[in-house]
Chain A
Amino acid sequence: MRIVSRPLVLLLNCITICLAVVMLLPGVWIIAASLTPSRFLNQGLLLKSVSLENYFVALESANFLLLYRNSFVYALGLLAAQIPVTLLAAYGMARAPVRAAKLLFYVVLFQFFLPPVALIVPNFILISRFGLTDTLVGIALPYVASATGTLLLRQGIRQIPTELEEAALIDGAGRLQILLRVVAPLVGPYIGAFCLVSFVYHWNEFIWPLVVLSSPEKRVLSVGFASFTRASESGAEWGLIAAGAVLVAAPLVVAFLLAQRFFIESFARTGLKG
């Protein structure tokens, strides 16, 4: 039994393809630009000759192995702390008595109200007091309490009918057990989405690591990328910037493709067109 009629499917597929082609522009441009030697790119001659020289220059301009390691440790380590903290809090929020839950919602939401810029100096002072300047832990601490994660997971948990948990409670299960064995598996896609969001955000984050870190050995990828692509006084080296951007984004694409499988499994169960 078709849920969506054939002609509609065709139309929708066409729209999808058109949109995809448009969206391909930036990505294709970056890859093409990264493979075009700068001297041609600056003439506007994309791919006049194809070479990897931009990549070689980029790799020479910064210690990418170190940068990857630092960013990876930072983003993943932070995620490892964020997931338990936000999962616990989201469950607490979703199942707390109504009035308390409403208050908690706004208390957590408040984190979005302060611009990150306003948080930099006071957080930096705090991190300094703890002696954690120039450490990856120092950059990570302010982000452990993630409002994004908490609220996203809360939404997911609220989509689950409480009967499941009540049955488990009657069977004598503790709340923590219920969270881990009943609720968490059901909000898998939400956790997955948050992992992606958090990882990507912190992989690309620039200004806060710039302020906190000092030693070249601690440098993260975004700062390293900036160290050879910022050109406030001269012209911009598009080829180099493009190659650098590809090097920065590549691990993320890999991560996304791997995480994709997780999404596919879930999405395969439903979907409009079946």
Chain B
Amino acid sequence: MIRWRSWPLFLLPLSLFLAAFTYLPALYNLLEGLPYLQLVLRDAGTWKSLSVTMLYLLISVPASVSLGLATALLTSGASPGRVLARVIFFHPVILPMVAFASIWLYLLNPTSGPLTELLRRSGLLQASPIADPNYTLATLALVSALKDFGLYMLFFLAGLQSIPHELYEAAAIDGASSWAIFRRVTWPLLSPTTFFVVIYAVVTTLRNVDHIWVLTPYGGVAGEAEVLLYRIYLTAFLYSNLPVASALSLVLALLFTIAALVGIPKLERGVYYEDR
């Protein structure tokens, strides 16, 4: 690759805004939150929240990413049927989360929700999943996955389109099965997109807490739905305790940083870039 001396110039505008509106606030949080860091780390509630967060991620991210990939594969193409399917899968993405969650609140209303009725009659569940502490977290994770997967479908579609059709034809001529084509052609060439989608999914899932407010306002009966970000949100807005919220944000940022520094290189090793 030909050396490019002036690349910093291209990064200048971004850096200016990033410094002012991301790093400066980070500094602010550091200064405000550091004195409370010890308090926060000693609090059992923080650790419980962290474990809830892990569990929540483990349910939601695989669900949303695989749904996104599956629907992308199923609906790529130009036929009107495919277009309609894409719109249907995508439409939750454009709804405000509050509205989307409110629908599920209505459907899962413990006393009179139609979905609750269905679950009860089919014998699957006796109480609405949002009223039963054992199922609350999973429900929230799935609601989040259902809302977001349409977006990941879009990302995967963008990634799919840059895979040249000739490769598929060549593989088919060689007699490869559909599964082999997927494994050997689609999946590797899609990996840069997958890499992005997984990271984006983790980050977005952790940042979407509006539905928790709608479905289980105080983070669940025993804090079983209090994802760390939600705890920060409650601390900042409900308890008006900004310094502790900053401290919790530091914990979250630290966690993310560690996870990123460890996980991302591992992930990226599996990614196949054309430009290497």
The interface of chain A, by Cβ under 8 A from chain B, is 1-5, 8, 12-13, 15-17, 19-20, 23-27, 29-30, 33, 44, 84-86, 88-89, 91-97, 100, 104, 106-123, 125-126, 141-145, 148, 150-152, 155-156, 158-162, 166, 169, 175, 179, 186, 189-190, 192-193, 196-197, 200, 203-204, 206, 222, 225-226, 236, 238, 241-242, 244-245, 248-249, 252-253, 256-257, 260, 263-264, 266-274
A3 in complex: contacting residue of B8, B22, B178, B236, CB < 8 Å: B178
Q: How many Å from the CB of A4 to the closest CB on chain B?
A: 5
Q: How many Å from the CB of B248 to the closest CB on chain A?
A: 8
A189 and B158 in contact, given A20-B85, A161-B275, A270-B163 (Cβ under 8 angstroms) = yes
A112 and B256 in contact, given A123-B21, A189-B161, A249-B95 (Cβ under 8 angstroms) = yes
Residues of chain B lying within 8 A (CB to CB) of residue A270? 76, 160-165, 168
Cβ A159 vs Cβ B96 within 8 A: no
A161 in complex: contacting residue of B151, B158, B232, B274, CB < 8 Å: B274
Residues of chain A lying within 8 A (CB to CB) of residue B76? 267, 270-273
Q: Enumerate B55-87 residues with CB–CB distance to A below 8 Å.
A: 71, 73-78, 83-87
- Interchain CA distance A155-B23 in the complex, whole Å: 23
Q: Which residue of A lies closest to B272 (CB)?
A: A159
B54 within 8 A of A: no
Q: How many Å from the CB of A130 to the closest CB on chain B?
A: 10
Cβ A89 vs Cβ B161 within 8 A: no
Residues of chain A lying within 8 A (CB to CB) of residue B44? none
- Interchain CA distance A125-B20 in the complex, whole Å: 12
Task: Give the 10 A-B residue pairs with the shortest CB-CB distance, closest first.
Answer: A92-B10, A145-B17, A118-B249, A122-B25, A89-B14, A122-B28, A142-B21, A245-B99, A189-B158, A113-B256
Residue of B104, B200, B207, B275 with most partner-chain A CB within 10 A: B275
- Interchain CA distance A204-B169 in the complex, whole Å: 42
Residues of chain A lying within 8 A (CB to CB) of residue B160? 267, 270-272
B215 within 8 A of A: no
The interface of chain B, by Cβ under 8 A from chain A, is 1-4, 6-11, 13-18, 20-26, 28-29, 71, 73-78, 83-100, 102-104, 106-107, 112, 114, 146, 151, 154-155, 157-165, 168-169, 171-173, 178, 181, 186, 192-193, 195-196, 199-200, 203, 207, 210, 229, 232-233, 236-237, 242, 245-246, 249, 252-253, 256-257, 260-261, 264, 273-275
Cβ B94 vs Cβ A95 within 8 A: no
- Interchain CA distance A144-B199 in the complex, whole Å: 20
Cβ B75 vs Cβ A16 within 8 A: yes
Besides A150-B14, A151-B200, 6 new A-B residue pairs in contact (Cβ under 8 A), listed by A number: A20-B84, A86-B14, A118-B245, A158-B274, A206-B96, A238-B102
Residue of A20, A86, A249 with most partner-chain B CB within 10 A: A20
Residues of chain B lying within 8 A (CB to CB) of residue A97? 3, 7
A-B contact list, 5 entries, CB within 8 Å: A84-B13, A115-B232, A118-B25, A267-B76, A274-B165
- Interchain CA distance A272-B169 in the complex, whole Å: 10
- Interchain CA distance A175-B6 in the complex, whole Å: 9
Residue of A85, A114, A272 with most partner-chain B CB within 10 A: A272
Residue of B14, B146, B274 with most partner-chain A CB within 10 A: B14
- Interchain CA distance A30-B237 in the complex, whole Å: 29
Cβ B260 vs Cβ A23 within 8 A: no
- Interchain CA distance A231-B253 in the complex, whole Å: 33
Residues of chain A lying within 8 A (CB to CB) of residue B71? 16, 19
Q: How many Å from the CB of A190 to the closest CB on chain B?
A: 5
Residues of chain B lying within 8 A (CB to CB) of residue A123? 21, 25
Cβ A155 vs Cβ B193 within 8 A: yes
Cβ A152 vs Cβ B14 within 8 A: no
Cβ B10 vs Cβ A268 within 8 A: no
Q: How many Å from the CB of A121 to the closest CB on chain B?
A: 6
Q: How many Å from the CB of B162 to the closest CB on chain A?
A: 5
Cβ B260 vs Cβ A114 within 8 A: no
Q: How many Å from the CB of B254 to the closest CB on chain A?
A: 8
- Interchain CA distance A218-B213 in the complex, whole Å: 26
- Interchain CA distance A30-B96 in the complex, whole Å: 12
A155 in complex: contacting residue of B94, B178, B196, B260, CB < 8 Å: B196
Cβ B92 vs Cβ A175 within 8 A: no
Residues of chain B lying within 8 A (CB to CB) of residue A16? 71, 74-75, 85
Residues of chain A lying within 8 A (CB to CB) of residue B252? 113-115
- Interchain CA distance A22-B161 in the complex, whole Å: 26
Cβ B87 vs Cβ A23 within 8 A: no
Residues of chain A lying within 8 A (CB to CB) of residue B199? 109, 112, 151
Residues of chain B lying within 8 A (CB to CB) of residue A88? 10-11, 13-14
Cβ B273 vs Cβ A267 within 8 A: no
Residues of chain A lying within 8 A (CB to CB) of residue B3? 97
